């Protein structure tokens, strides 16, 4: 009897193992096919000078159920790919501490909230004009209100524009959109008849409480638990354990958020910003970079799987009209909001164009509306197809955003608000022999302090009113102005200045200011900040530019610290373990 039971147990175990293999290996091969196609097409698009994201999207379309059918819609790939967005937001959160986030300004909170409300209202109005009912029109408005966090931030980072003026504005609005995902989902659920207004209110309150609880939990984790954990001998010496810790933090934050009913990407971002203040944020970001790249690739490929090229071709006119409404309407609306918050025209337009697409969470909301009967099959397919086309267009839109803004700025007879403010608030007597400091962040403040120590006149130019107020409070002459404009530089005496120091981290703005300065004042001393080593050559091109290479300077400081640490040991009176 015992032998029979043992044999039966073994047979059941083998059977269970075979069943698991039958489930696992088909998914494995589909993942392999999808990643291989994404690799080949991503390389092709990079070779053509385009974003690899286009290749990932196209790989999903070609391998998806609507074309070759190599990857099934129910294969589990889209579920795995959701981790990609969470990984991206977690890593970005590590770059942006809470203090950094607050410095994004009023456009992030006020502008982001206003954008969601106005876009929802505009989407409702247009949908109503096309004959859709109240519930359907509001669901469409909720869908259109969201842009693509994963796509926009990935491209901004790749282009080195995440620290630019329009990059910061786009980031702030995108974060507000991610926070709004839960209320918008609750709204669409209510419209579908799955809940009452009271239940919706409870849902909002629950979501708010959960977010506060997550912030508190991650704060305690980052300030009290992790520092003690990392002091342990095994974690400090075992590289594998550090990588595992990073993965657990990234995936665990997304899983915790999903478990309590909010967006996993939002939960991952909250965890990231709470951990950003810790000394191990850089190491964690480095450890998850490979996994983030893998999951992000899967995410874009899984989005591409939703496309049905044959259906799009058969309804090309309708799809083109909806795409135009999405892109043009959102670009104009967001541009108007950015102008309302006193952003210069060229950067306001660049922000609007960058966020003109409908994002991945918009597809999620459309899916909920479809399952609840708010959207019929043709309307759902039309909206999803237009969304995917807008995502395909996003790399091209972001590449063209700032050039379009600059071109429009030059054609308009009036100056932007920053230029007008700068021109109207000049000093009574023109300055001469002064040093212009562009940007009043930590680097600009240090430069201004050094100039003050040398009794030299400094003039601060910055686009952020809080920085101007700070400079004035410290006793420096400061003006609100966009230094990429020739008229602003001329008004503040670039031809009479002794030197200009460009401290802003935005490489493209720094390059433009450098070229403009050399054109206006051939003999002026130009000192420019280069955040990355590969941008030094471009900044040196106008000639006579002293470029401070941040990466090289950091290396020099590290080498200097190493020399100081090793000096006692070399003298024979230190601990030899310091240099072993």
Our measurement of the distance from residue 382's CA atom to the centroid of its chain's CA atoms, rounded to an integer in Å, reads 27
Secondary structure string (H, E, C) spanning 357-394? CCCHHHHHHHHHHHHCCCCCHHHHHHHHHHHHHHHHHH
pLDDT bucket at 101, cuts 50 / 70 / 90: low
514 pLDDT more than 70: yes
CB 460 within 8 A of CB 444: yes
pLDDT band at 79 (very low <50, low <70, confident <90, very high): low
Q: What per-residue confidence (pLDDT) applies to 193? A: 64
Give the sign of the dihedral formed by CA 475, CA 479, CA 483, CA 488: negative
pLDDT of residue 81: 63
The token duo for 265 is: 């990407």
- Dihedral of alpha carbons 203, 209, 212, 214, sign: negative
Q: How far apart are CA 460 and CA 436, in angstroms?
A: 6
> Looking at residue 222, what DSSP letter applies?
I
2: confidence class by pLDDT, cuts 50, 70, 90: low
Which pLDDT score, from 0 to 100, does residue 73 have? 65
Most trustworthy range by pLDDT among 68-82, 84-98, 494-508: 494-508
Q: How far apart are CA 56 and CA 360, in angstroms?
A: 14
> Hey, which of 211-225, 416-430, 496-510, 528-542 has the most confident mean pLDDT?
496-510
Sequence-ordered list of residues with C-beta below 8 angstroms from that of 426, at least 6 positions apart, any chain: 479, 491, 492
Name the more confident of 288 and 280: 288
Q: Please report, for residues 78, 303, 339, 400, the alpha-carbon distance to residue 153 in angstroms, rounded to integers and kept in the order given.
A: 20, 16, 22, 16
* Higher per-residue pLDDT: 280 or 5: 280
Which of 469, 94, 498, 420 has the alpha carbon at shortest distance from 283? 94
How much is the mean pLDDT over the chain? 78
Residue among 78, 54, 53 at smallest CA distance from 65: 78
- For 499, the enclosing helix (H) or strand (E) is strand 499-502
Count other C-beta atoms under 10 Å from residue 423's C-beta. Answer: 17
User: Average pLDDT for residues 186-208, to the nearest whole number?
Assistant: 68
- For residue 108, which of 267, 420, 341 has the smallest C-alpha distance? 341
Per-residue pLDDT at 469: 84
In 48-164, alpha helices (H): 52-63, 77-95, 98-102, 106, 112-129, 134-144, 149-158
Burial class (CB in 10 A: 0-12, 13-18, 19+), 543: exposed
pLDDT value at 195 more than 70: no
Query: What pLDDT is attached to residue 416?
Result: 43
CA 324 vs CA 258, 311, 357, 375: distances in Å: 34, 18, 10, 20
Q: How high is the pLDDT of residue 333?
A: 95
Question: What residue has token string 């000078």?
Answer: 49
Q: Which residue has the higher pLDDT, 282 or 571?
A: 282
pLDDT of residue 568: 65
Burial label, 432 (beta-carbon count in 10 A; 0-12, 13-18, 19+): exposed
Predicted pLDDT of residue 317: 94
Backbone angles phi and psi of 240, in degrees to 5: -65, -40
Closest CA to 221 of 237, 245, 204: 245
| Phi (first) and psi of residue 71, to 5 degrees | -120, 125
**Interval 382-390 mean pLDDT:** 90
User: What phi-psi label fits residue 148: left (phi over 0), alpha (psi between -120 and 50 degrees) or beta?
Assistant: beta
**Average pLDDT for 392-413:** 84
206 DSSP β-pair partners: none
Banded pLDDT at 156 (limits 50, 70, 90): confident
pLDDT above 80 (res 207): no
What mean pLDDT is predicted for residues 513-523?
A: 85
Q: Most confidently modeled of 39-48, 92-101, 299-308, 531-540?
A: 39-48
pLDDT at 385 > cutoff 70: yes
Measured CA distances, 279 to 100, 283, 301 (Å): 16, 8, 35
- The more confidently predicted of residues 530 and 415 is 530
3-class state of residue 526 by DSSP: strand
Whole-number Å distance between alpha carbons of 526 and 562: 32
Select the highest-mean-pLDDT range: 139-153, 212-226, 256-270, 316-330.
316-330
- Joined together, the tokens standing for residue 427 give 């000093």
Structure tokens of 243?
């990588």
What does the pLDDT read at residue 431? 73
Backbone angles phi, psi at 380, to 5 degrees: -60, -45
Give dist(CA 340, CA 329) in Å, integer.
17
Q: Give the angle subtended at the CA of 166 by the CAs of 59 and 289, to the nearest 5°.
A: 45
Q: What is the pLDDT of residue 251?
A: 80
Beta pairing class for 477-480 and 458-462: parallel
Residue 509 has pLDDT above 60, yes or no: yes
What was the pLDDT predicted at 335? 93
Asked if 172 contacts 111 with a C-beta cutoff of 8 angstroms, the reply is yes
**What digits encode the pLDDT tens for the residues 49-59?**
777 888 888 88
Percentage of the chain beyond pLDDT 70 is 78
Phi and psi angles of residue 328, each rounded to the nearest 5 degrees, phi first: -70, -45
pLDDT of residue 559: 83
Give yes or no for residue 419 having a pLDDT over 60: no
pLDDT band at residue 413 under the 50/70/90 scheme: low
> What gap in Å lies between CA 31 and CA 297, rounded to an integer?
11
- Least Cα distance to 409 among 349, 472, 359, 355 occurs for 349
pTM value is: 0.64
Residue 232 has pLDDT above 70, yes or no: no
- pLDDT at site 5: 55
Q: Which residues pair with 549 in a beta bridge?
A: 530
Between CA 198 and CA 339 the distance in angstroms is 37
Q: Dihedrals φ, ψ of 438, to 5°?
A: -95, 115
Give the Cα separation of 192 and 199 in Å (integer). 13
Q: What is the pLDDT of residue 99?
A: 64
- Is the CA virtual torsion 275, 280, 285, 287 positive or negative? negative
List the one residue out of 187, 291, 300 whose CA is nearest residue 248: 291
Strand partners, 291: none
CA distances to 439, 447, 461, 472, 498 from 453, rounded to whole Å, are: 19, 10, 19, 17, 17
Q: Please determine, for residue 578, whether its predicted confidence score (pLDDT) is greater than 60.
A: no
Domains delineated in the chain: 78-411 (1.20.1530.20), 431-561 (3.40.50.720)
pLDDT digit string (tens) for 303-346?
888 888 899 999 999 999 999 999 999 999 999 999 998 888 88
Q: How far apart are CA 163 and CA 157, in angstroms?
A: 9
What is the tens place of the pLDDT at every residue in 434-472? 899 998 888 888 999 889 888 888 899 987 777 888 888
499-502 vs 525-530, strand pairing mode: parallel
Residue 296 phi, psi (nearest 5)? -65, -40
Evaluate if residue 236 carries a pLDDT over 60.
no
């Amino acid at each position: 009897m015992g032998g029979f039971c043992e044999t039966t147990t073994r047979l059941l175990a083998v059977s269970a193992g075979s069943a698991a293999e039958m489930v696992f290996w088909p998914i494995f091969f589909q993942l392999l096919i999808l990643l291989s196609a994404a690799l080949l097409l991503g390389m092709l698009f990079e070779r053509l000078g385009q974003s690899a994201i286009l290749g990932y999207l196209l790989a999903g379309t070609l391998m998806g159920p609507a074309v070759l059918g190599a990857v099934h819609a129910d294969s589990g790939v889209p579920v795995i790919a959701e981790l990609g967005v969470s990984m991206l937001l977690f890593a970005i959160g590590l770059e942006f501490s809470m203090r950094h986030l607050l410095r994004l300004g009023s456009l992030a909170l006020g502008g982001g909230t206003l954008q969601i409300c106005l876009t929802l209202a505009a989407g409702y109005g247009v949908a109503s004009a096309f004959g859709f009912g109240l519930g359907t029109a509001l669901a469409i408005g909720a869908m259109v209100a969201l842009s693509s966090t994963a796509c926009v931030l990935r491209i901004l980072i790749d282009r080195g524009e995440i620290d630019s003026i329009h990059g910061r504005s786009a980031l702030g609005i995108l974060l507000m959109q991610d926070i709004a995902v839960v209320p918008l989902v609750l709204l669409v659920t209510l419209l579908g008849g799955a809940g009452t207004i009271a239940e919706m209110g409870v849902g909002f309150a629950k979501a708010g409480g959960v977010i506060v609880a997550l912030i508190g939990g991650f704060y305690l984790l980052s300030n009290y638990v992790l520092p003690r954990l990392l002091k342990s001998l095994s974690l400090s010496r075992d590289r594998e354990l550090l990588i595992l810790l990073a993965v657990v933090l990234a995936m665990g934050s997304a899983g915790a958020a999903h478990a309590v009913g909010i967006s996993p990407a939002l939960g991952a971002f909250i965890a990231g910003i709470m951990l950003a203040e810790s000394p191990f944020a850089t190491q964690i970001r480095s450890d998850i970079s490979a996994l983030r790249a893998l999951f992000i690739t899967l995410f874009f490929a899984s989005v591409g799987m939703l496309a049905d090229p044959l259906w799009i071709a058969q309804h090309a006119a309708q799809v083109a009209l909806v795409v135009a409404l999405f892109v043009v309407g959102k670009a104009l609306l967001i541009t108007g909001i950015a102008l309302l918050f006193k952003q210069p025209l060229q950067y306001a337009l660049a922000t609007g164009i960058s966020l003109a697409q409908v994002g991945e969470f918009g597809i999620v909301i459309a899916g909920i509306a479809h399952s609840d009967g708010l959207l019929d099959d043709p309307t759902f397919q039309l909206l999803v197809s237009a969304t995917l086309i807008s995502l395909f267009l996003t790399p091209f839109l972001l590449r063209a955003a700032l050039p379009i803004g600059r071109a429009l700025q030059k054609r308009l007879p009036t100056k932007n608000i920053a230029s007008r403010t700068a021109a109207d608030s000049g000093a009574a007597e023109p300055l001469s022999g002064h040093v212009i400091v562009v940007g009043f962040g930590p680097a600009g403040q240090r430069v201004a302090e050094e100039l003050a120590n040398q009794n030299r006149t400094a003039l601060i130019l910055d686009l952020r009113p809080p920085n101007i107020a700070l400079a004035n409070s410290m006793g420096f002459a400061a003006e609100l102005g966009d230094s990429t404009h020739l008229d602003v530089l001329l008004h503040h005496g670039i031809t009479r200045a002794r030197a200009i120091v460009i401290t802003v981290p935005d490489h493209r703005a720094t390059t433009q200011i450098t070229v403009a300065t050399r054109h206006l004042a051939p003999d002026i001393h130009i000192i420019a900040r280069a955040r990355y080593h590969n941008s030094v050559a471009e900044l040196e091109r106008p000639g006579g530019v002293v470029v401070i290479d941040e990466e090289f300077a950091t290396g020099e400081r590290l080498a200097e610290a190493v020399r100081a640490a090793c000096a006692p040991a070399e003298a024979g009176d230190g601990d030899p373990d310091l240099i072993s």
